């Protein structure tokens, strides 16, 4: 049986897979599992709840809040805020756990529910499984003064902004930046904090109406940002996803600066300031070979993990490392946050531009990206990707053909029913050809 939780919470189409009933039931189950330490200490559990601005978040947040309060949890409703802000507030307010309603970069009809443990940390698989196991179990309902109370907490944004400003190593005066909020959770926060830090800000994608989140804007749709940066003569642009736990950038020419390049820039900046713990960057197996080559040249060690910022974070916490992330733009700066934070990442990138006086293009040139092709193969049995002998034989043949000048990676998505075929090679043509051949084998062998 498949797990209820994916790599980033429970996600699916709102009001189909992600229903009000499921949201309420998960909230009750989480109240029992994550609130247990508080109850053992004779205290009423406290939780922070936030959401992105998609329309379904309104009824799903109401269901989560109702479930928590009915299970005896005091709830602080933080309203629309980025996912990292909810993680921050969970720690800052000494809450026992946090809940975020968001489907991140997914289209508007989707939504999701993710939980943070005390301190704002993502949950390990075992705790998620314990919450799933508690769904629909009988439970003793509190009454009277034992039911949870609901508090509207609208000071959360100001606390989060103050936290971000305190993390900056230098001001951003003289920098002009275009910010694309994806019509999502960062639409109000990101422009505000950049302006407070001294930057001149041009906004696009910052008018959420509940229906337009990720619709042609944000980190998965960079065309508007590229055009705006060039047309307005900005120094660079920052694009968030729907819940703002990631960011990508474009330089003054409109060229994309991805998560690997951002990590390379920040790694060298932190190394220079003596802030790169263990002289180590933690990245995933999806990071471009160019990042590994650049870091080796600059004397920075790279540790690789499975795909997913939760696995990056686990490795960072194990080794007490300070910087890690993904090519997709999830970047974790552990000194300042417990999860990927697109606003903080954008600020740190802007701070490096302001500090050095170099363009983002110059800074990004520290690494050369190998041509990379990613094909999403849909309509296949993702559970057999690692066990099918012909698929694995095809991978081995292509790796032999690349002869160390590139690499192949096949993995099932943790958030969608598909297999990702990723190929890096010396030329774009070679990478495309290899990816096409492998995608055809995957589709033929694993077709549902």
Which residues are identified as catalytic? Answer: 104
Q: Which of 53, 56, 58, 67 is nearest to 23 (CA)?
A: 67
Q: What is the CA radius of gyration of the chain?
A: 22
- Residue 400 annotated as binding site: no
Any bridge partners for residue 295, and if so which? none
Contacts of 241 (CB under 8 A, 6+ apart): 104, 105, 182, 184, 214, 218, 219, 220, 247, 329, 342
- 285: enclosing H helix or E strand: none
Strands (E), 216-286: 236-240, 247-250, 256-257, 280-284
Largest CA distance in the chain: 70
Parallel, antiparallel, or unpaired: how do β-strands 372-378 and 323-325 relate?
unpaired
- Secondary structure class of 184 (helix, strand, coil): coil
- Residue 241 annotated as binding site: yes
CA distances from 354 to 162, 176, 193, 361 (A): 20, 10, 16, 13
Annotated binding site for Mg(2+): 104, 241, 243, 245
Annotated binding site: 104, 241, 243, 245
């Amino acid at each position: 049986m498949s797990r209820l939780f994916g790599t980033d919470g429970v996600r699916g189409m709102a009001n189909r897979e992600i229903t009000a009933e499921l949201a309420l039931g998960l909230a009750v189950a989480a109240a029992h599992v994550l609130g247990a330490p508080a109850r053992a200490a004779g205290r009423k559990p406290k939780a922070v709840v936030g959401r992105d601005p998609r329309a379904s978040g309104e009824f799903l947040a109401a269901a989560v809040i109702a479930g928590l309060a009915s299970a005896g949890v005091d709830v602080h409703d933080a309203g629309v805020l980025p996912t990292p802000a909810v993680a921050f507030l969970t720690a800052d307010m000494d809450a026992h756990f946090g809940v975020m309603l968001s489907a991140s970069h997914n289209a508007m009809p989707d939504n999701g529910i993710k939980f943070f443990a005390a301190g704002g940390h993502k949950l390990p698989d075992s705790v998620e499984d314990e919450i799933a196991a508690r769904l629909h179990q009988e439970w003793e309902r509190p009454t009277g003064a034992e039911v949870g109370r609901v508090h509207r907490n609208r000071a959360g944004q100001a606390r989060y902004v103050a936290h971000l400003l305190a993390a900056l190593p230098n001001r951003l005066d003289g920098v002009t930046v275009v910010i694309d909020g994806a019509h999502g959770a960062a639409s109000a926060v990101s422009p505000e904090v950049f302006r407070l830090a001294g930057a001149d800000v041009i906004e696009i994608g910052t008018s959420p109406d509940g229906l337009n989140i990720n619709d042609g804007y944000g980190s998965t749709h960079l065309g508007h940002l590229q055009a705006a940066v060039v047309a307005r003569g900005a120094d660079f642009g920052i694009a968030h996803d729907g819940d703002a736990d990631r960011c990508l950038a474009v330089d003054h020419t409109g060229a994309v600066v991805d998560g690997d390049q951002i990590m390379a820039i920040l790694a060298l900046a932190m190394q220079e300031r003596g802030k790169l713990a263990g002289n180590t960057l933690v990245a995933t197996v999806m990071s471009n070979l160019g990042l590994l080559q650049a870091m080796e040249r600059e004397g920075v060690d790279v540790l690789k993990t499975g795909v997913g910022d939760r696995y990056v974070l686990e490795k960072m916490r194990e080794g007490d490392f300070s910087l890690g992330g993904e090519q997709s733009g999830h970047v974790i700066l552990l000194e300042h946050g417990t999860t990927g934070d697109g606003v903080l990442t954008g600020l740190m990138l802007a701070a490096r531009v302001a500090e050095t006086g170099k363009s983002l293009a110059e800074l990004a040139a520290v690494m050369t990206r190998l041509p990379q092709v990613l094909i999403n193969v849909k309509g296949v049995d993702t559970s057999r990707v690692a066990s099918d002998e012909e698929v694995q034989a095809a991978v081995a043949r292509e790796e032999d053909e690349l002869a160390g000048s590139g690499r192949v990676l096949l993995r099932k998505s943790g958030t969608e029913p598909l297999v990702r075929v990723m190929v890096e090679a010396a030329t774009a043509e070679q990478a495309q050809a290899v990816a096409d051949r492998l995608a055809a084998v995957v589709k033929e062998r694993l077709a549902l």
